[in-house]
Structure 1
Amino acid sequence: MSDLVLGTDAPVADEPAPRLVPRGARRLVGRGGLRARLLQLAALAVLFGSWQLAASTRVLNPAFVSEPSRFFPAFWRGVTRGDLMGLMGTTLYETVAGFVAASVLGLLAGYVLAESRLADTVTRPFMTGFNSLPRIALAPLFVLWFGLGSTSRIVLIVSLGFFIVAFNTYAGLQSVQRDHLLLARVLGAKRWERFRIFVLPSAAPAVFAGLQLALTYAFLGAVVGEMLTGNQGLGGYLALEMGTFNTTGFFGGLVLLVLVALVVSGAMRVVERRALRWHVIERRGTTGS
């Protein structure tokens, strides 16, 4: 007879913890990822192949749209010689500096708005009004105030990313279920324990969504600001190439811009997946992907 008898104090053997993601499901996910990568490569081949064909047959004017067979070598020469990489270093510095400042200020502002009803009531109309301003249109004003250097572009990036992070943080902190907070109070959890165990995990997905979007806008703000000033960074290079109608060099710079943006965004997604591993597993179990 088995030793597992209800109502007795007999020890129960530990059972192995069930796998959160079955081995077969992981294989299916891997196959799906490989299929997606192959489809992406096929889409790129069709895009650039059609582009090259249209430019070669003069369906599109190569003076206006260049050709992949020309701007990809231009991109490679700029990378190997270090010209484009040096310009990209300036753009990345402005992007990272502005993104970090916007993230820190936005997280603090979102937390204060969520925790203080008075602060929310007083400052919400002002934040909504300032958020509706077209900050890209204010870029010349930032140049007038802070000069032609990187400072004006960092301020532009902060103005773009701050409200995104603040409002997403506020929404995330407000999304915690009321029953969970009541349960925490009944169990005697202190305020910091309630925030750490219940509020923060509920808010984390929304916060990371805001950070991802703010990073995209930070990159956009850096390039646009450089294009307006036209003296530094990859944006200044693009403005110069377009001003001299050198579409080959312009598209070569765009290739580097897209690749770096993909790398930066991918790094942010890796950080999000590691920080929210529980959330990724939960979504995978409900979506079946």
Structure 2
Amino acid sequence: MSAIAAARTTAPTLPTLPVDEDFDGAYRRKQRIYRIAVLTVRLAIVAVLLGGWQGLSGPVIDPFWVSSPEAIGDRLIEWTRDGTLAANAQATLLAMAIGLVLGSAAGIVAGFLLGRVRLLGDVFNPFIIAMNSLPKLALAPLFILWFGIGLQAKVVMTALVCFFLVFYNTFAGARDTDSELLGVVAVLGANSRQRLTKVILPYTLAWILTGLRLAVPYSLLGVVVSEITASNEGLGHLLKTSANTFDTAGTFAAIAVLVVVALVLNIVVTRAESLSSRWK
């Protein structure tokens, strides 16, 4: 037996450190308990606010001005039973979805093209800045004149709002792709197609997702603004009609539905963002 083999045979064995197999499970339990505690506190705050609102409405404040949670709940039940809520919510969500898809797709294509072709970006950048500087609400009368008060005007307004949010993020990602990384893959022999698919597109994708995360809640805002301006259906129309008829309960009920829709959209966007981060 050689000296090296003998040394290996007679070398003392290092002690094995104890491994806590339940560490990951304990951490998950702590996180679950923390989330439950946060949710409980949130629900308690909502309950206190609603209870205080219900208690003050009538004895202290005239219900004409603030209504009450009970009256708002009754109005929501009434709208649910007669189909008013479902019909108007469907109109709003449909316009939001179409406008979001069209505006985001146009923003991705235009942003990537102008970001990668510097000549086009330098030529059209002032025009895009000028268009984005215009208040979107100021364009609503033109959209109504061109497309009427139906679905088309709401889709165009929503698509315009989403376009600029997605465009600028895509443009920044496409133009600011890491030049050193592109140089490295070029040295390794990558051709133009490989640089595009392996470096530029993945790098730009993170920026696109950021733009989409911003565009989703703003798409709801664009639809509601269009419906309040001029429309014959939708949650914004329901809100405006209730306010114009001094229906305080109906006004707060429409606002409550919009808040719920916004919260659901925020949860969906947050979940999608976490999945994309896990992929990265």
TM bucket (normalised to shorter chain) is: 0.7 to 0.9
Q: Report the 3-state secondary structure (helix = DSSP H, G, I; strand = E; otherwise coil) of the residue aligned with 2:57.
A: helix
Larger Rg: 2
Q: Report the CA distance shift for 1:189/1:46 in structure 2 as closer, same or farther (over 3 A).
A: farther
Alignment partner, residue 95 of structure 1: 96
Shift in Å at residue 250 of structure 1?
1.3
CA contact (8 A) 1:175 1:202 kept: no
The alignment's C-alpha RMSD in Å is: 2.4
CA contact (8 A) 1:230 1:239 kept: no
Give me the whole-angstrom Cα distance separating, in 1, the residues matched to 2:79 and 2:112.
44
Match of residue 42, structure 1, among 41, 44, 69 = 44
Give me the whole-angstrom Cα distance separating, in 1, the residues matched to 2:129 and 2:86.
38
Q: Which amino acid aligns with 1:270?
A: R
TM-score norm. by structure 2 comes to 0.84
Give me the whole-angstrom Cα distance separating, in 2, the residues matched to 1:189 and 1:95.
41
Shift in Å at residue 169 of structure 1?
1.0
Determine if the alignment matches structure 1 residue 105 to structure 2 residue 106.
yes
Alignment partner, residue 147 of structure 2: 146
Number of aligned residue pairs: 261
Q: Report the 3-state secondary structure (helix = DSSP H, G, I; strand = E; otherwise coil) of the residue aligned with 1:276.
A: helix
Q: How does 1:27-176 map to 2 (within 5 A)?
A: 27-58=29-60, 60-176=61-177
Shift in Å at residue 221 of structure 1?
1.2
Q: Which amino acid aligns with 1:97?
A: I
Q: Which amino acid aligns with 1:98?
A: G
Determine if the alignment matches structure 1 residue 228 to structure 2 residue 229.
yes
CA contact (8 A) 2:149 2:231 kept: no
Shift in Å at residue 74 of structure 1?
1.5
Give me the whole-angstrom Cα distance separating, in 1, the residues matched to 2:273 and 2:73.
32
Give me the whole-angstrom Cα distance separating, in 2, the residues matched to 1:54 and 1:230.
35
In percent, how many aligned pairs have the same letter? 34
Runs of 4 or more, structure 1, over 4 Å off, are: 21-25
Alignment partner, residue 13 of structure 1: none
Give me the whole-angstrom Cα distance separating, in 2, the residues matched to 1:35 and 1:182.
50
Shift in Å at residue 25 of structure 1?
4.3
CA contact (8 A) 1:110 1:170 kept: yes
Q: Which amino acid aligns with 2:68?
A: E
| Contiguous gaps of at least 5 residues in structure 2 | 9-22
Q: Which amino acid aligns with 2:182?
A: L
CA contact (8 A) 2:116 2:175 kept: no
Higher mean alpha-carbon deviation, 200-209 vs 164-173, is at: 200-209
CA contact (8 A) 2:99 2:155 kept: yes
Q: How does 1:198-217 map to 2 (within 5 A)?
A: 198-217=199-218
Q: Report the CA distance shift for 1:250/1:28 in structure 2 as closer, same or farther (over 3 A).
A: same
Give me the whole-angstrom Cα distance separating, in 2, the residues matched to 1:27 and 1:172.
39
